[in-house]
Amino acid sequence: MIVNMKDGATEEQIEHVIERIREAGYQAHITRGVERTIVAAVGSNGRRHELEALQAAPGVDNVVAIAQPYKLVSRQVRPGGTVVKVGGVRIGNGEPVVVIAGPCSVESREQLLTTARAVKSAGARMLRGGAYKPRTSPYDFQGLGQEALDLLAEARRETGLPVVTEVMSTEDVDTICERADMLQVGARNMQNFALLRRLATIDKPVLLKRGPSATVKEWLLAAEYLLTGGNPNVVLCERGIKTFETEMRNTIDLAAVALAKELSHLPVIADPSHGTGRRSLIAPLSKAAIAVGADGLIIEVHPNPERALSDGPQSLDCREFQAMMRELPLQKCAVAVAWRGGAS
Ligand code: PEP
Ligand code: MN
């Protein structure tokens, strides 16, 4: 259930509602908007009628049941949408589309710095780079680990671009938090609940990739773990799912981008690199993702894709990235935002 407070409800009235929610056996989560405050009551063992009775409490506008299994993630909690801040970069809720770019894996100082400078000058707003790599084969390059984290921190110092990198294990969370601005949960770990619970306690934003075989509901429930555990700064990322198609590495599901935005207030970005596995499809699918309302893109770029230690076939070189950036409508086009506010 969510309790919508009236515009201008007092702190005392909000506190009273929180107290009553707790007394009824639920957890209370507060979302303070510019105009109004929403208090969500979550939990399964509370006394529902006591929540319904809050309708009559001072300062309360209305009490609404959230039908979906995910609660805090639901757009009903924050109809206007959420902006997640990563360093100085704002993602979501009608902000210009944020392009995150960089190599699949950090391979060397030169490779990373060359890429970081190139993507920055082309207009990327954040830098990506894998330090701990989830590889299908144990014989493939597994990432440079700590060394890569230091290089990412150096690239950020030089370019000013906030950095996102993947965390695969709860053991690495502290080390990565010290050096990165945002932590990525990779597709293979979307339902690693121990990792999600741990990331719920950090004060860094999380980029949550959709699992290759996850439904939209499972993806949103994974995000719910982060929010209910205390981390409201979550960006969802559609990166393609497994289908019967074999010509492409994955099938990027752009309907899921539009749907996730309809169902949730969280920002949603798209990853056409992993979503297709093909360099030639990155520019067209980036444009398509923006057209359906994506709040950002994450793109793999390598100075020499032919020599990349991971994901070369789906990496743009620096010039291809620059050329694509010139064509992208980063100020969202009208069609992308038309559905907001309930427009059909
Ligand atoms: C990546 O971003 O390099 C990566 C491994 O992504 P995913 O988890 O989507 O496969
Ligand atoms: Mn990759």
Tell whether ligand 1 has an atom less than 6 A from the beta carbon of residue 239. yes
Tell whether ligand 1 has an atom less than 6 A from the beta carbon of residue 209. yes
User: Which atom of ligand 1 lies at the shortest distance from residue 311's CA?
Assistant: 3
256 C-alpha to center of ligand 2: Å?
20
| Domains of the chain: residue spans and CATH | 2-64 (3.30.70.1140), 84-340 (3.20.20.70)
Beta strands 84-86 and 182-185: pairing type? unpaired
User: Which atom of ligand 1 lies at the shortest distance from residue 237's CA?
Assistant: 9
Average pLDDT over every residue of 80-88: 94
Minimal-distance CA residue to ligand 1 atom 9:
187
Tell whether ligand 1 has an atom less than 6 A from the beta carbon of residue 58. no
Q: Give percent of the chain above pLDDT 70.
A: 96
Tell whether ligand 1 has an atom less than 6 A from the beta carbon of residue 274. yes
Structure confidence at residue 343 (pLDDT):
38
pLDDT band of residue 34 (cuts 50, 70, 90) is low
Does pLDDT of 344 surpass 70? Answer: no
Tell whether ligand 1 has an atom less than 6 A from the beta carbon of residue 130. yes
Minimal-distance CA residue to ligand 1 atom 4:
186
Tell whether ligand 1 has an atom less than 6 A from the beta carbon of residue 187. yes
Q: Quote the pTM value.
A: 0.93
Tell whether ligand 1 has an atom less than 6 A from the beta carbon of residue 134. yes
Structure confidence at residue 212 (pLDDT):
98
Give tens-digit pLDDT for 108-141: 999 999 999 999 999 999 999 999 999 999 999 9
pLDDT band of residue 332 (cuts 50, 70, 90) is low
Tell whether ligand 1 has an atom less than 6 A from the beta carbon of residue 104. yes
121 C-alpha to center of ligand 2: Å?
22
Cα(233)–Cα(110) distance, rounded to whole angstroms? 32
Minimal-distance CA residue to ligand 1 atom 3:
104
Structure confidence at residue 338 (pLDDT):
46
pLDDT band of residue 44 (cuts 50, 70, 90) is confident
